[in-house]
Amino acid sequence: MPMLRRQKLLAALPAIERYALSVLAVVCILAIRLVLDPVLANRAPYLFFLLAVALVRHLWGRGPGLLATVMGGVSAWYFIIEPRFSFAIANRVDTLNLAAYFAVGAGISFLGESASRLPASGAAGGRSIKLRVVRQTAVLAGAAVVLVGMVLLLQRDFRRTQEAEGWVVHTYQVMNSAESLLSTLKDAERGERGYLLTGDEAYLAPYNSAIAALPRGLNELKHLTSDNLRQQARWIAINRLTGERLAVLKRAVELRKASEVEAALTLVRSGEGELDMEELRSTLDEVIGEEHRLLAERTAEAKLQATRGRWILGLGSGALVLLLVFASAIIERETVRREEITQALRRHADLLEQAHDSLLTYRRGGPIDFWSRGAEILYGYTRPEAVGRSSHELLQSYHPLGMAPIDAMLERDGEWKGELTQTTKDGRKIIVEARWKVAVDAAGNKTVLEANHDITERKRAEEELRRVNRAMQTISECDQVLVRATEESHLLDDICGTMVQVGGYRMAWVGYVEHDEGKSVSPVAHAGFEEGYLQAANITWGDTERGQGPTGTAMRTRRPVVTRNIQTGPGFSPWREDALKRGYLSNVALPIILDDQVLGALTVYADEADAFDSAEVQLLTQLSDDLAYGIQALRTRAERKRAEEALRQSETQLREALLAAQMGVWEWTVETDTVTWDENLYRIAGRDPKLPAPSFQDQPQLYSRESWERLKSAVENALATGTLYDLDLEMVRPDGSKRWLIARGEPLRNANGHITHLRGTVQDITERKQAEAQNLLLATAIEQAAETVVITDRDATIQYVNPAFTRTTGYTRGEALGRNPRVLKSGRHDTKFYQDLWANLTAGKIWRGEFTNRRKDGTLYMEEATIAPVRDAHGEITNYIAIKSDITKRKRAEEALRESDQRYKDFISHTNEGVWRVELERPVPIDLPEEEIWERFAQNAYMAECNLAHARNLGFSTLEEVVGVPLRDLISPSDQERLESYRSATRGGLRNRTVEFRSRDKTGNFRHFLRAEIPIIQDGMLVRIWGINRDVTELRQAEEALKQSEYLLRESQRIGKIGSYELDLASGDVSCSVVMDDIFGIGRDYRKDAAGWLAFVHPDQREEIGAYLRQVIAEKKRFERDYRIVRPIDGAERWVSGNGELVLDSQSRPVKMIGTIRDITEAKRAEEALKRSEFLLRESQRVGRIGSYEFDIASGRFSTSATTDEIFGVGAEYPKDINGWLALVHPDERERMGALLQHAIAEKQRSESIFCIVRRCDGAERWVSANGDVVLDSQSRPVKVIGTIQDITEAKRAEEALKESELRFRQLFERSESALALFETVFYAQGNSSGYRCLDINPACERIMGVSRSQVLGRCAHEMYPALGKYCSQLFDRVAATDEPVAFEDYSPTLGRYFAGSAYSPRPNQFAVSFMDVNERKLAEESIRRLNLELEERVRSRTAELEAANQELEAFTHSVSHDLRAPLRGIDGWSLALLEDYGQRLDAQGNKYLLRVRSEAQRMGRLIDDLLHLSRVSRAELVHGTVDLTSLAEAIAARLKEANPGRPIEFVVAPNLKCRGDAPLLEVALTNLLDNAVKFTGPRTPARVEFGQTECDGNTAFFVRDNGVGFDMEYAGMLFAPFQRLHKTSEFPGMGIGLATVQRVIHRHGGRIWAEAQVGAGATLYFTLGENKS
C-alpha cells in the first residue's frame, strides 16, 4: 500500500509542478495588473471566474494548457471585453503595445506549453512521428508568424494613428492661432474705438498690447501653416490685411491723439478699416475652414486606420485563434496519444517493476540506463548503483564459450538466449536464464534489453538431482561390475571405468596402502583423464605433507574426505597445479576398509567445484564399501583357488616324489576285494599297468612265501585292530627277480567305524638295501681288519687310517690324518726304494713290499705292505690305498691272537649292537632252492656265538641261555619279523646284506633293528652266518614321527592345508602345526593342551564346544564343527572350522584325535557380504517393483528374484522353465512372447516387451514390461538371458484410460453437432497477436462453415474469411483480455446464417470455439420476437393510456395541492382579517363562527395534505435496498420523544432488524405506526411501545406493540380504510389516514398488515414485507 501511494505521488509530480507554475503565473499577472490599475479590484470577480473556467478546463484534462488559457483569458478580458478600460492608460499607443506584448507573451507561453507537450523525438520511432512533428512545428510557426505580422501591422497602424492625432492637434493649433489673431485684432480695434470715443488713454493699453501681440500671432500662424501653400497664400493676405487694418487703426489713434476727433471718427466712419477687417475675418475663416477640412480628411483617415487596425487585430486574432485551435487540436491529439503511450509505458514500467525477472537496458556497449526492481532484488545493486555502469563489468557475466559469441549473435540475430553465470553484489554466483534482445530506435541507436531470470535454485536442484542420479547410476553400474567381477585388478579397473563413463567424473583411481617405510600409496587402477597424474602424485598415507591430501587423509582417518574446491582446498598444494592442469576441480577420497584394515582408497575427481555434496558422498561411500566387499570376495575366491592349485601341485609333487622314491600306493576295498594300484606300484611289481591289479586273494604269487605270510598276518591284524602295519617284504616279480619292499598299510574306517578299506604304500628298497649292506660290510671289514689300512690322496696326505694303523704305529687317527706316511720312516730304506715305490704307484701299478717303520714311540716294526693306486672313472689316480700287515705280530701270534680275541669278546660284550654268529650243524649247499636252504637253515642253525646285547635283543638275559641253542628255539614263532630277518639271509642268493626288521621286546613294544648279515660259504656250502644287529629303534621312531608328520601334512593338504593337530587324549597334550599357531595367534612355545585350546574358543561357545568334544570322544565320532575363537594376541574374533578324527588303539579305545582347524573368517565374511548385497539387490528390486530373472539357455531354466515371483504371483516351488513361464503369460500373448524369446536368443538381441500376464496366485491380469539381454560366451554363443521384469499395470491402465479419454474426446469432437474449432494465437515478433491459426476443426464445423478440414488447418481465420477473422479476433481478444469464456450469438453475413456458441481459452495462447448453426432457432426466435414486439406495442399503448391516466392523476394532485388550498387559505386569511379588523364589532357568537370557519378551513387543508400524502405513497417509485429497521425505528423513537417532551415513553426496539424494501416508504409506515402507538398510549404512564420481529406462517413479521387504549376487534376491518377512525377526534387527534397509508406502503411491498387488540389492553400491529422475503 505505501508503495502504491508513493508511485501515485511520483506520477502526479509533473502535474503538481505544472499547477504550481500556473498559479505562479496567474499571481504574477495579477500583481502586474494590480500595480497597473487599482480599479481592477472591481473586476476581480470576473477574473476569478475566468480563472475558475480555465482551471476547470485544465483539470478536465483538455484544453491548451493552463498558462495559455489564463494568459489568453486575461488578455481577452483586458482588451476585448472591456475596451473602454484601455483609455484609462496614458495613451492608446501604449495600450496597443501592451496588448501586442500580451498577445506575444500569450503566444509564446502557448508555444512553449505546446512544445513541452510535444513527444520527445524518437520516443516511439517512425516516419509518422517526424511528419507529425513537422506539421506541428509548421502550424506553430505559422501561428508565430501571424502573431509577429499582426504585431508589426498594429505597430505601423499605431504609428499612423499617432500621426493623425498629431494632425488634429495641429489643426486645432492653427484654428486657435487664427482665432487668437482675430481676437487680438478685435482687441486692438476695441481699444482704438474706446480711445477714439473717450480719448481716455486707458483704452490704449489693450490696443497697445494687441498691437504688440499681433506680430507674434502672425508669426505663429505662419509657422503653423508653413506646410500648406494655400494657407501660406492666405497668411500673406492676412498679413497684408492686418497691416492695412493696423495702419488704419494707427491712423485713427494718431488722429485722436492729435485731437482731431472728428477726423478720426470720420476715418472710422469711412469704414476703410472695416473692410479690411471683414476681409481679414473671411480670410481667417478660410484658414480655419481649410484646417477644418484638413481635419475632417485626417480624421477620416485616422478612422480608416483605426478600422484597419481593428480588422487586422480581428482577422489576425481570428487567424491566430484558428491556428492555435488547429495546433491545439494536433497537440491535443498528440498529447492524448502521448498520454496513452505514457500510460502504456507506465503500465509496462509497472509490469517491469512487478516482474521477478531482472530487467535492464543499456546502449550497446554503453552503460546501464534501466535497472528494474527485479534486478535490484536479484543482484543487490540499487538503481543508482547500477545505472551508469557497464552491465558486463557490473555482473561479471560468465559463459563457457565466452561473451564474444554472444555479442556476435546479438549483432547478427538481434537476440540471444541462454544461461549465464553472474555475480551479485554480495559476491554470490548465480545462474540466470538470460534473454537478450537488441532494440533499434529510429535514430539507429541499439539498445540491449536484458531479461535475466534467476534459475540458480533450479540449477542447483537439477545439479543435485543429476549428481545423485549420477551417483545412483554409478553405484548401480558398479554393483553390476562387482557382481560380475572375477579378478581384483579388473574389478578395480572396471569400477574406475564405470565411475568415469557412467558417473561422468573426470578421473577415478584406486590406490592401495603400502606398509613400507614411507607409507606410500600405490595406484592400482585408474580411469578417465589421468595423463600421468598419479605417477607424479607420489602420495603417502603417512602424516607428512604428501599425506595431507584427501587420499592420504582418507586412508589415515578411514573417513571420506572431500575437497570442495581444489583451487583453494587446504592440504592440496603439492598437487594443485597438476590437478588444475587436468581440469580437476574437486574430489572425494573414499577409504576402502577391509576387515578393519584400510586397504586403500578410491579417489574421484570431478571437473567442477563443489561437485560432491553429502548425499553423493554418502552414496559413494556405500560404493566404496561395496567395493571393499567385492575385493574381499574376490580375494577369498582367489585364495581358495590358490589353495586348490597348491593342493593340486602338491599332489603332483607327491606323485612325483612317490615315483622318485619308488614308492607305490595302493588301496584295497575289503568287501569287494578289489585292489587299485598306482603306476609306480605296477612298475615296482614289474607288471603290465593295463592289467587290473591282483586282488588280495591273488597276492600270494607276488611275494615270497615268508613275506606273504607276514603280510597276510599283518593285514588280518590290521583289519581286526585297525592298527597300521609296516613290513619289509620280498616281492617276486613275474620274471622271477626279487625286490625288497617296505610295505605300509593303513586301515580306513567308514562313518560307522567299520574298516572298509586298506590303503598303503609300497617302497622298493632293494637297491638301498643292497648298497647299504655292501657299504656296511666293507666299512666293517676295513675297520675291523687286522691289517693297517691307510688311504691317502694322490699327494700322499693321509685321509684315512684304520684302527689297525693306530695299533701298529701308535699314531691315533687324529694324529695321522692330514700327514704324510713319511712320519713312519725308519731310515732303513734308501731313496731308491722310495723312488721305485712311487714309480710303480704313479704308473698305476700295485706295489708290494716290506717296510721297516718306526712307531710313534720310536720302536721299529716290520710290516708287509701292499699299496695300490685308486683311479676314478676317468682313470685318474685319486687315492692310494696301502694295506699293511705287521709281521711283528706273527711272532707273537698266539699272544696277539688271544689278546685280540679277548678284545673282540670285550667289544662284543660291551657293544650295544648285537653281534652274533650262527653256525649250521650241517652245512647247506647253496645251490638248493631258497626255500630248501631256509628249511635246512632253520632246522640246523644254532647260535654259535653272540654277545650279551644280542641275547638281550633276543629276550634273554645271559649268554648261556643263547649260545649253542638252536635258532628255532631262540626265536618265538610270533616274532615273525625277526624270523623273517633271518630268513632274509637265505633269500636272493647268499650274500652279505642288511636287513631291517622289528621285533617286540619284553614290554611288547616294537624295536627296530638293522641287521648286517654275513653268510659264510665254504665249498659251496653255507656253513655259518655272521651278523650284527643294530638297534635302530630310535632312528625308526624318528622316521616314524617323520612319517606321521608326513601323514599329517598330507591330511592337512587333503582337507585344505590349514592347521593340523594331534590331541593325546590320555595326557591332553596337543601337538599342532605351525599354521595352527598362526590361526590361534600363538607361538610355538605356547603350552598346548586340551584346556588351553578350549580357552581360545569364544566365551559364548566354550561350553557348547567342550560338551561337543566330550560327546565326540565318548561316541567315537568325527569332530566337525565351525566355531569362533578369540585370538589372545590381538583379541580378534575369528571363525574356524574344526575337524578331528579319533585314533583308536587295538582295543578300539580312542587314543588320540588328529584333525585340522581351518580359518574360515573370510569365507564367513564373504558369505555375509554376499548375503548383504543380495539383500540390497532384492530389496531394491522389491521397492522398485522390478524383478530380475536369469534364463539359462542350455538348461532352459529361469532363476528369478523374489520380486519377480511376487509380480508373477508364484512361489519358489513354481517350475521355472519355459513352459512354466509361458503358462503365466496371458493366453493371447503366449505365442508372441515365446517367439520373441526365441528370436532374441537367435538374434542375440536385447529384447524389450510389454505383455499381459495372469498372476498365478489370484488370477489377476497384470501388465508387465520385460527386457532381457542375451549374454554371450567367449565364442559369442548365447549362454543366458538376463533381464528385468517390471509391473507396469498401473501405468498401463493410466495410459489406457488416457487413450480412452482421448478417444472419447475425439469421438465427441468428431460427432458433435456443434462446430468445434481450435485456434492458436499467432504472434508478431513484437509479441502482439496477429491472428489466430486454425489447429483443428470437427466435421460439424466443416459442414457449417462449408469448408474442408484440410483447407483450413494451419491457416489463419482472417485468411479464410476476412470478415469472420476480424470477428474472431475481437472475440478472442475479449477472451484473452478477460480470460473468461465469452458466449456469442451472431449473424454471419459471410454465410448468411446465425451462429451461437462460446469461445474460451483452454490453455494460454489457444482458443477454442464451439458454435452451432442456430439459423432455424433464430428464425423462430425472430417470429417470436415479432409477436413479442406486437404484444409489447399493445402493452405500450396500454401503458401509455395508463400513463396518461396517471398523468391526469398527477395533474389532479397538483391542482388539489395548489388550487384547493389557495381558496382555503383565502377563507382562513379573510376570516382572520375579519376577526382582527372587525372582531370588536361582532358579538361573541359572530367571533365564534368565524373561528369555526377558520378551523374548518384548516381541517380541510390537513385533509388535503393527508390525501396528498397518501397519494404520494401510492405513486412513489419503489427503490429496493436493505433497510436497517432497528436504526430507523430508533431514530423515529428519538424524534417522537423529542416531540412529546413531557411524556415518559419507553421504546423497546429489537436489535438487528433488517429487511429489503424502499427506505423512505418504510420510514413513512414505521413513523405512522409508532406515532399511532405513542398517540394511543397517551393515557398510560409509563407508555410502552415495542418494535420487534416474530415468525408468522413461516414468514418474518414485524410488529409494533403498545400498552395503549387498544380497540374493539369487531372494528378491526375498518382500521385500515382511509378516514376511518375508531376513536373520537377529541380523544385522539388525527385524520384517520395514517394506517391507510401504512397499509398502502406494506401492500406496495407485497406484504400484509393486521392488528390484534383489546379494548384498554393495548394493540399490536403486525406486518410482513413480502412473502418469504425478509
Q: Which residues bind another protein (CB under 8 A)?
A: 42, 45, 1453-1454, 1457-1459, 1461-1466, 1468-1473, 1494, 1497-1498, 1500-1502, 1505, 1508, 1512
Q: 253 or 1497: whose CB is closer to another protein?
A: 1497
Least Å distance, CB 1632 to another protein, is 19
Q: Which three cell numbers stand for residue 1435?
A: 402493452
| Eight-state DSSP code of residue 827 | S
* Rounded Cα–Cα distance for residues 1328 and 1325 (Å): 7
Instruction: Judge contact between 121 and 129, C-beta under 8 A.
Output: yes
| Longest Cα–Cα distance in the chain | 263
Q: 223 or 1465: whose CB is closer to another protein?
A: 1465
Least Å distance, CB 1463 to another protein, is 8
* Rounded Cα–Cα distance for residues 1338 and 1317 (Å): 7
Q: 1464 or 1570: whose CB is closer to another protein?
A: 1464
Instruction: Judge contact between 804 and 888, C-beta under 8 A.
Output: no
State residue 1153 phi and psi, 5-degree precision.
-125, 125
Alpha helices in 436-487 (DSSP H): 456-484
Least Å distance, CB 109 to another protein, is 29
Q: 1001 or 1505: whose CB is closer to another protein?
A: 1505
Q: 1005 or 1495: whose CB is closer to another protein?
A: 1495
Q: Which three cell numbers stand for residue 1590?
A: 416474530
Q: 46 or 398: whose CB is closer to another protein?
A: 46
Closest CA relative to residue 1022, chosen from 990, 993, 979: 990
Q: 654 or 1475: whose CB is closer to another protein?
A: 1475
Q: 571 or 1479: whose CB is closer to another protein?
A: 1479
* Rounded Cα–Cα distance for residues 820 and 830 (Å): 17
| Contacts (Cβ under 8 Å, ≥6 apart) of 989 | none
* Rounded Cα–Cα distance for residues 1583 and 1600 (Å): 13
Q: Using CA of residue 676, residue 680, residue 685, residue 690, what is the dihedral sign?
A: positive
Least Å distance, CB 1372 to another protein, is 47
Least Å distance, CB 1442 to another protein, is 19
Q: Which three cell numbers stand for residue 839?
A: 714309480
Least Å distance, CB 50 to another protein, is 14
Q: 168 or 1500: whose CB is closer to another protein?
A: 1500
Least Å distance, CB 1497 to another protein, is 6
- Please name the residue that has the C-alpha cell 477473422: 1365
* Rounded Cα–Cα distance for residues 745 and 751 (Å): 20
| Contacts (Cβ under 8 Å, ≥6 apart) of 252 | 192, 196, 264, 267, 268, 273
Least Å distance, CB 301 to another protein, is 36
Q: 1424 or 1451: whose CB is closer to another protein?
A: 1451
Least Å distance, CB 1464 to another protein, is 5
Least Å distance, CB 149 to another protein, is 35
Q: Which three cell numbers stand for residue 1274?
A: 567367449
Least Å distance, CB 1461 to another protein, is 4
* Rounded Cα–Cα distance for residues 1238 and 1257 (Å): 27
Q: 1415 or 1457: whose CB is closer to another protein?
A: 1457
| Contacts (Cβ under 8 Å, ≥6 apart) of 1488 | none
Element (H, E) at 756: strand 755-764
Closest CA relative to residue 486, chosen from 647, 594, 645, 641: 641
* Rounded Cα–Cα distance for residues 219 and 229 (Å): 15
Least Å distance, CB 329 to another protein, is 31
* Rounded Cα–Cα distance for residues 130 and 118 (Å): 11
Least Å distance, CB 1627 to another protein, is 23
Instruction: Judge contact between 1545 and 1577, C-beta under 8 A.
Output: yes
Least Å distance, CB 1477 to another protein, is 10
Q: Helix 261-270 and helix 229-257: axis angle, to 10°?
A: 150
Instruction: Judge contact between 1589 and 1553, C-beta under 8 A.
Output: yes
Where do the DSSP E strands lie in 425-547?
429-440, 446-454, 507-513, 521-528
Q: 654 or 1508: whose CB is closer to another protein?
A: 1508
Least Å distance, CB 78 to another protein, is 16
Least Å distance, CB 1471 to another protein, is 8
- The DSSP bridge pattern shows strands 1545-1549 and 1583-1592 to be parallel
Q: 1094 or 1467: whose CB is closer to another protein?
A: 1467
Q: 647 or 1475: whose CB is closer to another protein?
A: 1475
Q: 318 or 1469: whose CB is closer to another protein?
A: 1469
Helix/strand/coil percent split, the chain, to 5: 55, 25, 25
The region, left, alpha or beta by phi > 0 then psi within -120 to 50, assigned to residue 1019 is: left
At residue 1346, the 3 state secondary structure works out as coil
Instruction: Judge contact between 884 and 866, C-beta under 8 A.
Output: yes
1267 to each of 1233, 1239, 1264, 1545, how far by Cα in Å?
Answer: 12, 13, 10, 97
Least Å distance, CB 1493 to another protein, is 12
Amino acid code (one letter) for 789: V
Q: 1391 or 1474: whose CB is closer to another protein?
A: 1474
Least Å distance, CB 49 to another protein, is 11
Can you give 739-751 as a three-state secondary structure string? EEEEEEEEEEECC
Cα first-last separation, the chain: 39
Q: 609 or 1508: whose CB is closer to another protein?
A: 1508
* Rounded Cα–Cα distance for residues 871 and 320 (Å): 161
Q: 791 or 1472: whose CB is closer to another protein?
A: 1472
| Eight-state DSSP code of residue 875 | S
